[in-house]
Amino acid sequence: MSTPSFFIDIDGVLYGGSAPVSKGPGVIAYLRSRGFPFLLVTNTSRMSASDIQEKLVDLGYQVNTDEILPVSLAAVEYLTHKFDAARCFLIGDDSLARLLEKHGHTVSRKEESADAVVIGQSLWSDFGEVDIAQRLALQGAEVIALHRDATWPDGDVTRIGLGPIVAAIESVIDGAVTVIGKPQRAFFDAALSRAGFARADTVMIGDSIASDIDGAIKAGL
């Protein structure tokens, strides 16, 4: 019998707000002790892998940075593969800007020529940014959203996610927005490749039927 491997969502599965899920650290320790490989996969765009690892360690989890795949890193890899060094108009917070710049991409928040419009999570996205994004798209920039979840949990608060922003832009441009994260099959394919897991032996554990479970099923997990 093949050894199962696991993709595990993070927010809402390993922690909620600033507290770990009950017995969560013990479950990760059990998987490791039994030799069950796992990769933590998340649609969050506001934290790097090292930021997530630091938070998890503070909450009692023993995980390494290379066991974490945030959608922000998948987006960077997509941009690098397609553009090498992309000129990006960014809707998102400074942590995503720093990650893009670290990997050789340029970031602007002004209306100027761009290869890509990158949409990540932000507490205070405004309509002016969406307005600029649609004009850049009409000029040929590829619109790339890190996910299109309708909402996201921020501690005890549920905030509007990228889904409504993506829908607004798609309503006024020709063509679709490129979506990077779950439930896109390409994200699961990239995660399988990164981890070296066999598709048929990999189980997805998550708290979203649409993003985690349906996405995994459609990806053949």
For residues 67 and 114, give the distance between their C-alpha atoms in angstroms, rounded to a whole number. 33
CA distance 193 to 74: 12
Q: Indicate if the pLDDT at residue 134 is higher than 70.
A: yes
Q: How far apart are CA 218 and CA 169, in angstroms?
A: 26
Mean pLDDT for 39-51 is 87
Give me the chain's average pLDDT, please: 89
CB within 8 Å of 143: residues ≥ 6 apart: 116, 117, 119, 133, 137, 169, 173, 177, 178
Q: Which fold has domain 5-71+182-218?
A: Rossmann fold (3.40.50)
pLDDT band per the 50, 70, 90 thresholds, residue 15: confident
Superfamily covering domain 72-179: HAD superfamily/HAD-like (3.40.50.1000)
206, two tokens: 């998550």
> What ranges do the domains of the chain cover?
5-71+182-218, 72-179
